Amino acid sequence: MLIMQLLRAIGFFHGNILLFCVTTGVGIFVSPKGVLKYSSLNIAVSLSIWAACAVLTMITALSLAEMGTTFPRSGAPYYFLKRSLGSSVAFLSLWIKLFTYPLGIATQSLIISTYLIQPFYTRCPAPELLKKCLALATLWSLGLLNARGVLTVAWFQTISILVKMAVLCFISFTGIVLIGIGKKENVARFEKAFDAELPGVSQIAEAFLQGLFAYSGTSVLINIAGEIKNPGENIPKSLITVLPTVAVIYVLVNISYLAVLTPQEIISTDAVAVTWMDKVIPSMQWVISFGISTSIVSNMCCTILSASRLFYTASQEGQLPLIFSMLNNYFSPTVAITQIIILASFLIISSDLINLIKYSGLATWVLRGLYMIGLLKLRYQEPNLPRPYKVHLPFVLGSIAISLFLILTPMIQSPTVAYIYGFIFIFSGLLCYWLHVHVNQHYVCFDKVTCYLQLLFNVSPPEDQDDGISTGEKHLEEIVL
Most confident of 134-138, 154-158, 353-357, 434-438: 134-138
Which residues does 436 contact at the CB level (< 8 Å), separation at least 6? 319
Residues 58, 60, 63: CA angle, nearest 5 degrees = 105
7 domain residue, yes or no: no
4 domain residue, yes or no: no
**pLDDT grade for 392, boundaries at 50, 70 and 90:** confident
As a whole number of angstroms, the distance between CA 104 and CA 403 comes to: 21
**pLDDT grade for 144, boundaries at 50, 70 and 90:** very high
As a whole number of angstroms, the distance between CA 213 and CA 409 comes to: 17
270: CATH: 1.20.1740.10
CA 124 to chain centre: 32
Which residues does 281 contact at the CB level (< 8 Å), separation at least 6? none
Count of residues for the chain?
A: 481
| Integer-rounded Cα radius of gyration of the chain | 22
22 domain residue, yes or no: yes
Lowest mean pLDDT among 53-62, 114-123, 247-256, 459-468: 459-468
pLDDT at 475: 35
DSSP, collapsed to helix, strand or coil, labels residue 327 as strand
Please check the confidence at residue 151 and state whether its pLDDT lies above 50: yes
pLDDT at 481: 28
- Ranges of H-type helices in 317-473: 334-346, 353-381, 393-413, 417-433, 444-457
Please check the confidence at residue 443 and state whether its pLDDT lies above 80: no
Indicate if the alpha-carbon torsion angle 292, 293, 298, 301 is positive or negative: positive
6 domain residue, yes or no: no
245 domain residue, yes or no: yes
Q: Which amino acid is at 13?
A: F
**pLDDT grade for 24, boundaries at 50, 70 and 90:** confident
Q: Which amino acid is at 18?
A: L
Please check the confidence at residue 265 and state whether its pLDDT lies above 80: yes
pLDDT at 245: 92
Domain carrying residue 130? 12-457
Average pLDDT over the chain, rounded to an integer: 80
Please check the confidence at residue 478 and state whether its pLDDT lies above 50: no
As a whole number of angstroms, the distance between CA 327 and CA 324 comes to: 8
Beta bridge partners of 10: 228
438 domain residue, yes or no: yes
pLDDT at 473: 36
468 domain residue, yes or no: no
Lowest mean pLDDT among 55-64, 154-163, 185-194, 254-263: 185-194
Q: How many domains does the chain have?
A: 1
As a whole number of angstroms, the distance between CA 108 and CA 222 comes to: 22
User: pLDDT over 90 for what percent of the chain?
Assistant: 10
Please check the confidence at residue 111 and state whether its pLDDT lies above 90: no
226 domain residue, yes or no: yes
